[in-house]
Structure 1
Amino acid sequence: MNAPLTALPGTSVSPRVTVDIWSDIACPWCYVGKRRFEAALRQFPQSGQVDVVWHSFELDRAAPQASTTSTRDILAQKYGRTPAQAQEMLDSMTATAAQEGLEYHFETQQRANTFLAHQLLHLAAEHGRQDAVKERLLRAFFTEGAFLGDVDTLAALAAEVGLDADEVKRELEQQTYAQAVRQDEAQAQAYGISGVPFFVLGGKYGVSGAQSAEALLGALRQVWSDLAPQPALQRIGGVSGAEDCEDGSCAVPKNG
């Protein structure tokens, strides 16, 4: 049984804010959004009381397990652009990422279905390493040209940030977290999320897209303002009778 909590006069029980983030590994704006959110957190005085949870969102569930088509050509086909126009889009995205300290190499990118990678993120969450694994997967995909549709590759990357490679292989091969990925995607649909990144702060505020650090900081401040308790005495449980000496506490006897 948990001990009863009492906020003393002039003090408060500090709340915690959960930020749920839906994103995909193969989403260039999701990596940029991650960096901007991290910049916002560094400016947020209560950052130590923010819990970040990464949720699964596949931009293309039907993507093949592996593809030899270049990112440029995929982009051209998707948006009806010429290869030159698609390359301009990639160059612009690369420049935007560079402003956040990220290095994108679309020319060496190996396209893959991200379903396995999302399952790995759920496994990582159970070990308290979700953010570290998320970061490692994004860097591997956008900077290093790693193929993330392969169990062995995912296990090796996870091992670099503290997970057991054999456990990762076993759980991915058994599809242990497949349903968890689908549940995340069902929740995204229920929220009406159609693009990522998408931030849900405190279960109340939704922020769509890789907004600026300033905008994300403003959202954090807003949700904190809503959740922060007032410094007043709030008794939960405890002694009911003035003369009782039970339940772990004794009351001061009344005079007379």
Structure 2
Amino acid sequence: MKIEIWSDVMCPFCYIGKKNFEQALENVAFKNEVEVEWKSFQLDPTLELTETKTTAEYFREKKGFPEEQAKQMTAQVVQMGKASGIDFNFEKALITNTFPAHKLLHLAKKHNKASEMEEELFKAHFLNGENLGSIKFLSNLAEKLGINKDAAVQTLSSDEFDYDVNQDIMEGRNNGVTGVPFFILNGKYAVSGAQPSQVFEEALTQTYNETVKPFKGSSESELSCDTDGCSI
């Protein structure tokens, strides 16, 4: 069963959604039959690649929110994060264009380490205040996960995976994705937002029961036909 997740590493609800989804996945008996594919999405592609802003600066300049209002909003997210095991640190978080981070995610996908990379990028942004637009930092992060550092530098310094990132974003829009996180479950159901783990568990179970389980009882011994003829 395939789960596609559109996400942006600058989105705190994507991190909460990831944690809640993973908890739900641990609770279902068929977890080893689930394939997760992370998809790229950008909440603000207009940000400069070489510029960083604090969370307060971003809310003030981009959203028009005064600092006190921004603090109240982030305080609410901090409480939500604690319930999911995340210690958000918005005072350290640096807002920047996440396109390079998404390119690194696609490189990690080639090495079957997309979920690990997604987690490391979230930690880097929300917990450690790292600059996700820095080639130096991102290439070091790749090396941490066992990905060749020089290959990461090459990826981040070229247009490699630019098409893949943009294709994810376009595919998301074609599927009605206007906000993240957004989950598509085996091509049949969609779950939007950082839902509680119980909601994810129920959605996963329903999808599995409707799209996978009915086909698991078949075997080669049953009456069937193939290109060589029919077995009786």
Aligned positions of 1:137-148 closer than 5 A:
137-148=121-132
TM-score, structure 2 normalization: 0.92
Structure 1 counterpart of 2:11, from 24, 27, 31: 27
For residue 146 of structure 1, what is the amino acid of its counterpart? Answer: E
Deviations 1:170-202 (A, max 9, x none): 122122100000000110110111000000000
Separation of aligned partners in 1, 2:124 and 2:23: 21
TM-score, structure 1 normalization: 0.84
For residue 226 of structure 2, what is the amino acid of its counterpart? Answer: G
Structure 1 counterpart of 2:56, from 72, 86, 99: 72
Aligned CA distance change for structure 1 residues 181 and 68 (closer, same or farther; 3 Å): closer
The structure whose Rg is larger is 1
Aligned CA distance change for structure 1 residues 76 and 226 (closer, same or farther; 3 Å): same
Aligned to 1:147, the other structure's residue is in SS state coil
Aligned CA distance change for structure 1 residues 78 and 62 (closer, same or farther; 3 Å): closer
Structure 2 counterpart of 1:60, from 44, 50, 75: 44
Separation of aligned partners in 2, 1:241 and 1:203: 31
Aligned CA distance change for structure 1 residues 97 and 237 (closer, same or farther; 3 Å): same
Instruction: Check whether the contact 1:72–1:90 (CA below 8 A) recurs between aligned residues.
Output: no
In structure 1, list runs of 5 or more residues that go unmatched: 1-16, 243-250, 252-256
Provide the residue aligned with 1:231 in structure 2. Answer: 217
Structure 2 counterpart of 1:159, from 128, 131, 143: 143
Instruction: Check whether the contact 1:196–1:208 (CA below 8 A) recurs between aligned residues.
Output: yes
Aligned positions of 1:126-205 closer than 5 A:
126-205=110-189
Separation of aligned partners in 2, 1:163 and 1:239: 46
Q: Indicate yes or no: 2:79 matched with 1:90.
A: no
Structure 2 counterpart of 1:106, from 83, 90, 95: 90
Instruction: Check whether the contact 2:142–2:149 (CA below 8 A) recurs between aligned residues.
Output: yes
Aligned to 1:108, the other structure's residue is in SS state coil
Aligned to 2:153, the other structure's residue is in SS state helix
Separation of aligned partners in 2, 1:211 and 1:241: 48
CA RMSD, Structure 1 to Structure 2 (Å) = 1.9
Deviation at 1:223, TM superposition (A): 0.9
Instruction: Check whether the contact 2:5–2:37 (CA below 8 A) recurs between aligned residues.
Output: yes
- The ranges of structure 1 where at least 4 consecutive aligned residues each deviate by more than 3 angstroms after the TM superposition are 66-69, 76-80, 234-242
Deviation at 1:99, TM superposition (A): 1.3
More helix by share: 2
In structure 2, list runs of 5 or more residues that go unmatched: none
Aligned residues: 227
Instruction: Check whether the contact 2:58–2:95 (CA below 8 A) recurs between aligned residues.
Output: no
Deviations 1:110-167 (A, max 9, x none): 2211001101111111111111111111101100011110111101011111211111
Separation of aligned partners in 2, 1:80 and 1:234: 67
For residue 7 of structure 2, what is the amino acid of its counterpart? Answer: S
Provide the residue aligned with 1:48 in structure 2. Answer: 32
Separation of aligned partners in 2, 1:81 and 1:182: 30
